[in-house]
Amino acid sequence: MPAFTGYPVNLFKAEIISGIRWSWAVYFLTANLFAMLIIGGKYFSYILSIGSLIALPVVFAGASVSYVLFLSSMGPGPSSYSPHYVMLSITILTVVPLALSMVTLVPFHEFEQKLMKNKHGVSMFEKCILICLRVFNHIIYFVIPNILEVVREEAQYMRWAKQPDNTLISRFKCLIKDMTQIGIEGICASIQYIPLWAVEIAQLPDKNRDQARESGDRK
């Protein structure tokens, strides 16, 4: 609830330091602690690592752009935008682990199968949910495992260590390049079957039509 709506953590304005509120700090620690206790330390370490990988480029890229604007006299100084990016990092490290923990625990695949096999038909709202579940399950159980397999086989993340110019800048450039490539491949693989799934789900029997037919037969 607080992660998606901000309520009630945004009601408290007291800050530990500029950009970090006490309410968000407590929520960050509590959410991650409960996630770790529920899914286990091993899986939670993977989830926290993924959250950190997402937070680092977002926060540092945004802060870098803001600093360049400041140097070119087109934007305010670091004192005005730094609290925003500090809070953004805390938010990402709270929301991403929560979302990934939910993916680990909630049986979305079973929800999809239950809707597909509903003997009473499927309403339009349920068809919308079905297409979302189909895309979601495809990403979790097909796209991500395949991408990870490619990363392992081709050693995408280790390529930066084999560069002749083994500097921090060259490593960072290779990491950004690899992350961009993986992101593009993931997006393309996630949406390629949507037209086929839309046709399949649209052909499912409509619940309202079946109910009207049953009421007509009774009359």
**Mean pLDDT throughout 60-72?**
82
Q: Single out the residue of 174, 180, 99 nearest to residue 147, CA to CA.
A: 180
175-179's contacts with Cβ under 8 Å and 24+ in sequence apart are: 176/57, 179/53, 179/57
pLDDT of residue 159: 52
Residue 89, pLDDT above cutoff 60 = yes
**Phi and psi dihedrals of 16, rounded to 5?**
-75, -55
Q: Could you tell me the residue ranges of all domains in the chain?
A: 2-106, 109-218
pLDDT of residue 140: 79
* H-type alpha helices, the chain: 2-5, 22-39, 41-71, 78-105, 108-116, 124-138, 144-154, 168-191, 194-202, 207-218
Note the pLDDT tens digit of each residue in 1-58: 787 777 888 888 888 888 888 999 999 999 999 999 998 888 898 888 888 888 887 8
pLDDT of residue 205: 85
pLDDT of residue 213: 54
pLDDT of residue 60: 82
**DSSP tag of 15:** E
pLDDT of residue 37: 93
Distance CA 62, CA 81 (A): 10
Which of 5-9, 98-102, 201-205, 210-214 has the least mean pLDDT? 210-214
